[in-house]
Chain A
Amino acid sequence: MELSGAQILLESLRREGVDVVFGFPGGAVIDIYHQLPNYPIKHVLVRHEQGAIHAADGYARASGKVGVCLVTSGPGATNTVTGIATAYMDSIPVVIFTGQVPTPLIGNDAFQEVDIVGITRSCTKHNYLVKDVTKLAHTIKEAFYLASSGRPGPVLVDIPKDVQQAVTEYKYPKTIKMRSYNPTIEPNIKQVRKVADLIAKAKKPIIYAGGGVISSNAHEELIWLARTLKIPVTATLMGLGCFPGDDPLWLGMLGMHGTFAANHAINNADLILAIGSRFDDRVTGKISEFAKKATIVHIDVDPTSIQKNVLVHVPVVSDCRAFLLALNRELAPRLDEGTASPSHDKWLTQVGEWASEHPVTYSHEGTAIKPQAVVETIYRLTGGKAIITTEVGQNQMWAAQFFRYHTPRTFLSSGGLGTMGYGFPAAIGAQMAFPDKLVIDIAGDGSIQMCIQELATAVCYGLPVKIVILNNGYLGMVRQWQELFYAKNYCATCLEVAPDFVKLAEAYGAAGYRVTDPSEVEKTLKEAFALPRTVIVDIVVDREENVYPMVPAGKPLTEMLLV
């Protein structure tokens, strides 16, 4: 079968099971768009390429499938860079196709030419410039394989216009084997035994789970391990949802805005099982004071994550699920013999005391709407059965603290890069993956404006995404730092002019609500959630409310500012 490069791309996407592509056309991809209607692939036309890449990312996080984004050369390509870096930091499988100027013009500073492969080298798992149409099919196969295997991540494929037009015999490889890429998936069994031996002796164990548990679909095995051995569980921002938020063993998130119980538990534990997490500075606080009493076991599919920030005692390079399956197998006979682990009752009592002494809470004083109360109300109204996306800053932390996530892939947030503007396009992607689920972007009035143009996209495709703006008229998290550490010098954090979000929503054809009275919050949210339309609910909240607990940057985890 002879196909053009453009056809090869689309036929290969079809064979990869891609049902939706988020994109924006341009001169260097017209050939692909010309062929697009001939293939059973939905296209979501965004209003800015950053929206396309975040939507593909949100789609991938929500569904577990590879997200796909298609943009033109030059500015189309550079506009995706923030989103590519976002996906890279959080290990999200996306494949980005960029158009490129015709090969004879490459390097000539041609119109809309940019060296996107050079630009994205350090924020993709891998990237390609395909100069020969006969290599296109194989490259696409490799791109999907790389994006979704091992530690997932974004892969970019740059395709010059003449390559899209060139014709060749089409053959799509069934499988891929690369001599230079062979991620370790199965754990070393000796290491697994060592972990089981440590568990058998540990009196104060804790599981510190991260995004790796979610990306490897290891939550069931994790839940089994924790419940069977009664080990308390904390998770990173990226790990939220990997363990039921209403389980008595759940400690809440740890780190800078983690719970008192989680931070004290990790600092007093004698055994830490770090599963698919990477000891980020927002998690460890002052590294030299971090978990000094513990033997640390670190499971990660990416060897570079191990021994990078924290020196651990038992490194295990493995897929999280493969490790947990092996560990649970190793534990089974020990459980029968009663030798798997000692009782943790005393430890659990201690942890429980920390949790009840200092739960995550907030001051209920004053007449203004408390942003935390809004998140609690969203949780109550949805019964936790919604996909929550967030922007970045205070809104993100409150969404992490006051909504309890029960299942994986229901909390989508830019954890590593901290990208404002992520939440709304990600919600569009999640809604495309799950048309019948309630998808809510918990936003701030600052960050929502970074990709607000995607209202047109959401309305155009009839996506009933809900945007709940916790509107405090500030870039709240920076203002909080200025208040606490920079002598209340609120330089450039007060958003003195803001749009009327209700009118803005209406201008785009969405519905808009504004809430200023605490007694109206629940009623309005209920109404908004029931509406089968794109909705903005602009909630005016207590302006100078802060996120607590907080561990000041560079301080040990136990030095927490509480409410």
Chain B
Amino acid sequence: MRHIISILVENEPGVLSRVAGLFSGRGFNIETLNVAPTLTPGLSIMTITTHGDEQIIEQIIKQLRKLVTTLKVVDLSEASSVEREMMLLRVDAEGTKRAEILRIVDIFRCKVVDVSPDELIIEVTGEQGKLTALINLLQRYGIKEVARTGAVALRRGMQG
């Protein structure tokens, strides 16, 4: 099962390789990984999506907590959480294709962030499912390049 794990770490050199090395050394897989500083100076948040059965996910979480540079590890798939990923796509948009692509952009509430005579760069944000659906739709026009951020996620607020 897919899990989103959020890790609060000390923002110091080598932290990323401690986490990445833990995954590779113990044979866990990383599907996506995202790191950025938090509002607290000196702390960063890593968001990792990974796959595994219950026992493996438990090991991953415990091993991450064991790293001396880790403050907090949360399995966001357990809690009700909001997940988003951003993707940029360079799509072939010559001639008549262009109007069709722009209609899809509209439906998916994407943004066109760069235009040239024969291609468009589209920016889209959403959950994994939405991104996959968009890729599937645009594939027939020719996707030349894709860049993705990997998932980020936050726990939802209390609802009453």
Q: Which residues of A contact B (CB under 8 A)?
A: 117-118, 121-122, 125-126, 129, 146, 178-181, 302-304, 307-308, 311
What are 29 A-B residue pairs whose CB atoms fall within 8 Å in the complex?
A117-B14, A118-B14, A118-B17, A121-B14, A121-B17, A121-B21, A122-B21, A122-B22, A122-B25, A125-B68, A126-B68, A129-B13, A146-B68, A179-B71, A180-B9, A180-B69, A180-B71, A181-B68, A303-B62, A303-B65, A303-B66, A304-B59, A304-B62, A304-B63, A304-B66, A307-B58, A307-B59, A308-B59, A311-B55
Name the A residues within 8 Å of B65 (CB-CB). Answer: 303
Task: Using A121-B17, A180-B70, A304-B59 as known contacts, list a sample of 14 further A-B pairs with CB atoms less than 8 Å apart, ordered by residue number in A.
Answer: A118-B14, A121-B14, A121-B18, A121-B21, A122-B21, A125-B68, A178-B68, A179-B71, A180-B69, A302-B66, A304-B63, A307-B55, A307-B58, A307-B59
Q: How far is the CB of B146 from chain A (nearest CB, A)?
A: 31
Name the A residues within 8 Å of B71 (CB-CB). Answer: 179-180
Taking residues whose C-beta sits less than 8 angstroms from the other chain, chain B's interface range is: 20 to 34
Q: How far is the CB of B5 from chain A (nearest CB, A)?
A: 15
**Bound complex: CA of A308 vs CA of B22, how far in Å?**
15
**Bound complex: CA of A117 vs CA of B65, how far in Å?**
20
Q: How far is the CB of A136 from chain B (nearest CB, A)?
A: 16
Counting chain B CB atoms within 10 Å of each CB, which of A126, A180, A303 scores highest? A180
Name the B residues within 8 Å of A307 (CB-CB). Answer: 55, 58-59
Name the A residues within 8 Å of B22 (CB-CB). Answer: 122
**Bound complex: CA of A121 vs CA of B22, how far in Å?**
9
> B127 an interface residue at 8 Å Cβ cutoff?
no
**Bound complex: CA of A118 vs CA of B66, how far in Å?**
18
Name the B residues within 8 Å of A126 (CB-CB). Answer: 68-69
Looking across the interface, which residue of chain A has its beta carbon closest to that of B12? A128
Looking across the interface, which residue of chain A has its beta carbon closest to that of B71? A180
Name the A residues within 8 Å of B18 (CB-CB). Answer: 121
Name the B residues within 8 Å of A121 (CB-CB). Answer: 14, 17-18, 21
> B10 an interface residue at 8 Å Cβ cutoff?
yes
Question: Which of chain B's residues 1-44 have a Cβ closer than 8 Å to chain A?
Answer: 9-10, 13-14, 17-18, 21-22, 25
**Bound complex: CA of A129 vs CA of B68, how far in Å?**
15
Question: Which of chain B's residues 103-137 have a Cβ closer than 8 Å to chain A?
Answer: none
Q: Kindly list the 8 A-B residue pairs having the minimum CB-CB distance in the complex, ordered from nearest.
A: A126-B68, A304-B62, A180-B71, A303-B62, A122-B25, A181-B68, A304-B63, A304-B66
Question: Which of chain B's residues 65-84 have a Cβ closer than 8 Å to chain A?
Answer: 65-66, 68-71
Name the B residues within 8 Å of A178 (CB-CB). Answer: 68
Name the A residues within 8 Å of B21 (CB-CB). Answer: 121-122
Q: How far is the CB of B74 from chain A (nearest CB, A)?
A: 15
**Bound complex: CA of A240 vs CA of B9, how far in Å?**
38
